[in-house]
Structure formats: C-alpha cells, structure tokens
Structure 1
C-alpha cells in the first residue's frame, strides 16, 4: 500500500478511477439518460481540435476541456438553476476525465500531443 502512496502518477490514476466510479454512481442516482451518456462520453475529446493551431494552443485548449474546471462550473450552474441536463452533462464530462486519468492520459504539455503530466503516451513512450 505504501508503494502506491509514494507514486504520484499511480495515485492520479487511482483518483481517475474514483472520479469515474463516482460520476457513474451519481449519474445513475440522478436517473440520467444512458443514451445521452453514450452519445456524449467522447465529446470532451473535441477539445483536441485545438491542435489544429499547433501544440502550444492545442495543449491549452485540450487541458481546458480535460480539467475539472468547466464541468465543475457547468455542474454548479445546473445545481443552482435546477437544470438536470446541465448536471447530467457535467457528470458525463467528469466520467470522461476519470477514464482518461485511469488509463494514464494526462493533461498535455505545450511540447507535443504525446507529452502529458502523467508521462509520454502513444507508440514512442
């Protein structure tokens, strides 16, 4: 157990699993549409389009869509405004981020798409 606690990358991957599990549990408890979940689970990856502007802009845009910032704001707006759809979308978004972290896909560095805060991804690790 101590080994996991001294491995920041492993801890962040475990956190991703917890975030995914919690998102799924809350989505189920909120009676969200599973069809909506399936349709939107990959939607945050549209932030990859930022890479059309190069690695620096791409990393910034991608990171904006893959941190808790935007889904957190959306979820808060949904809760305060009693907007179930906003809450559902926020939970799906959190779930996506959880999957990414669990699988080792981290926030992007400005150098290249493959360079993340959790290490290099892709074929040329």
Structure 2
C-alpha cells in the first residue's frame, strides 16, 4: 500500500509564504551589510546548503531530514546568534547565507522535502519527478493538476 500524497500549500497562503521568504532574503542581506565582509561571499557560498542533497545517498528519509535541516531557519539563526555572541563574522556570514538561500528557495517555490520524494515539497513539485501521482494545485481560483511521484519506496 502506498503512502497518501502529502499536501502542498497553494493559493493565497502560498503567495504569503513567498512574500515572507522574500522579506527573509532581504533581511539577510541587510544583516550581511553590517559585517563589512566582501559581497562576493554571498554568491560564492550560496549553493553550500544544496550540498545536503548528498544525504539522499543514505536513503530518502535520511536525505529529506538532512536537507530540511539545512533548509529551515533554526540552523542559520543559531549560527547568527552564535556569531554575534562570540563576535565571529564567519558564523554570521554562514547564518546570513543560509537565510538568504532559504528565502530565495521559497520565493522560487522550493520547499521542505517529504520523506518519500525528492521532488515533492510543501510548496510544489519540481524536477523530473513531475510525472507520477496527481496533486491538485489551486492558485488564484484556477484548478489544475500537477504530477508528482511518490518514489519507489512509497509505491510498495
């Protein structure tokens, strides 16, 4: 028996989440401006959180857990606080880059991963896995169906 398809945030709440994400990205850049560090660090380090996809080599559940750890606010906020507490710009920069990355990911509708599919996130379906199970997407009052796969583990 396969797992039920998880929900995806749609409609106005999805828009608000993207606006909120944009605000987080802008705030991260404002914090970065206070460090005096060179701006080239932002693009140079921007994709570091995406290296967390390597955890998928240990399986989808471990992969999703580590990916979500690297793509949610608690870790970069902890780095920011530690950086301010210990007066370490490197930690502040790491926190800022994490928050900036998360903000832009959410603006582009890349969300937190579900345990059974790399492509299925709380904000939509991405990548080549768009050709599996149906998930209904309702945006601005228009009902359309996108496709998502539950992956081999969920198909039973």
Counterpart residue number, 1:104: 109
Counterpart residue number, 2:32: 27
Counterpart residue number, 2:90: 85
Counterpart residue number, 2:75: 70
In 1: Cα distance, 2:43 partner to 2:126 partner:
25
In 2: Cα distance, 1:79 partner to 1:27 partner:
12
Counterpart residue number, 1:39: 44
> Could you list the runs of 4 or more consecutive aligned residues of structure 1 that deviate by over 6 angstroms after TM superposition?
none
Two-structure CA RMSD over aligned residues (Å): 1.4
Query: Bigger radius of gyration, 1 or 2?
Result: 2
In 2: Cα distance, 1:67 partner to 1:59 partner:
12
In 2: Cα distance, 1:87 partner to 1:28 partner:
11
Higher helix share: 1
Pick from 16, 19, 27 the counterpart of residue 21 of structure 2.
16
Mark the runs of 5 or more structure 1 residues left unpaired by the alignment.
1-5
In 1: Cα distance, 2:115 partner to 2:92 partner:
31
Counterpart residue number, 2:61: 56
In 1: Cα distance, 2:125 partner to 2:33 partner:
34
Show CA shifts across 1:23-76 (max 9, x none): 112212322221222211110001111111121111101000000111111111
